[in-house]
A and B are shown apart, each in its own frame.
Chain A
Amino acid sequence: QVQLVESGGGVVQPGRSLRLSCTASGFTFSSYGLYWVRQAPGKGLEWVAIISYDGSDKYYADSVKGRFTISRDNSRNTLYLQMNSLRLEDTALYYCARESSAHWFDPWGQGTLVTVSS
């Protein structure tokens, strides 16, 4: 079955960097676009970034543009999110999700928690 497993979260000080990973299985990874979505504690969902199936197209939310970079390694079935210059407001559970054939978020991983704190 399709599975997405995020890792790399943790506690980090403001201004520092962190790289998240999302390892996929159960489907042809190189055929699908992928997303990062985050959810601050007790809050709603916020789309963060998207990358096309081959990595040629990337889009970012304004809140992370210039600080976060989405990338993928199709040989390793892995999606990445490089997060630089982290802010307190970046504290959230970060989910990766696959782009469905109809271009929606489906399915989602279980998330990895990033806490930005001094």
Chain B
Amino acid sequence: EIVLTQSPATLSLSPGERATLSCRASQSVRTYLAWYQQKPGQAPSLLIYDASNRATDIPARFSGSGSGTDFTLTISSLEPEDFAVYYCQQRSNWPLTFGGGTKVEI
């Protein structure tokens, strides 16, 4: 099973600041990695797929990068609605796995 390790667990920032979230895989997942955002009381929603492609209607302040085992989600300038939990997920190997999440808090 591929283990995805997200860091940090919590990121405390202010609106307007830059957020950098990390996801490290226990073995290569090539670019088969996605990022999801989950706001309190809501279902997750797809942000980034195939490591660097923004999903439909996702603002340009969200960007993803990386390949192999190291991936980054960057939010260039935090908006109030961006404070949420972010999960990475791989589909390179079965079983499909998620990282433990990074909470971006004010």
Contacts and interface: CB of A to CB of B under 8 A. Distances in A.
Interface stretch (A22-30, A74-82, A102-110): A102-110
A46 B46 CA distance: 15
Contacts of B96: 47, 50
B44 A108 contact: yes
Question: For chain B, what secondary structure do more than half of its interface residues adopt (helix, strand, loop), or is it mixed?
Answer: loop
Given A104-B91, A105-B36, A44 B45 contact: no
A104 B49 contact: yes
Contacts, number: 54
Given A47-B98, A61-B95, A106 B43 contact: no
Given A100-B49, A104-B46, 20 more contacts: A44-B99, A45-B44, A45-B87, A45-B89, A45-B98, A45-B101, A59-B94, A59-B95, A62-B95, A102-B49, A102-B53, A103-B91, A104-B49, A104-B89, A105-B44, A105-B89, A106-B55, A107-B46, A108-B43, A111-B43
A35 B36 CA distance: 15
A108 B44 CA distance: 7
Interface string B70-106: 0000000000000000010101001111111100000
Interface of B: 34, 36, 42-46, 49-50, 53, 55, 87, 89, 91, 94-101
Contact of A104 (B34, B42, B43, B97): B34
Contacts of A61: 95
A95 interface: yes
Nearest to A109: B43
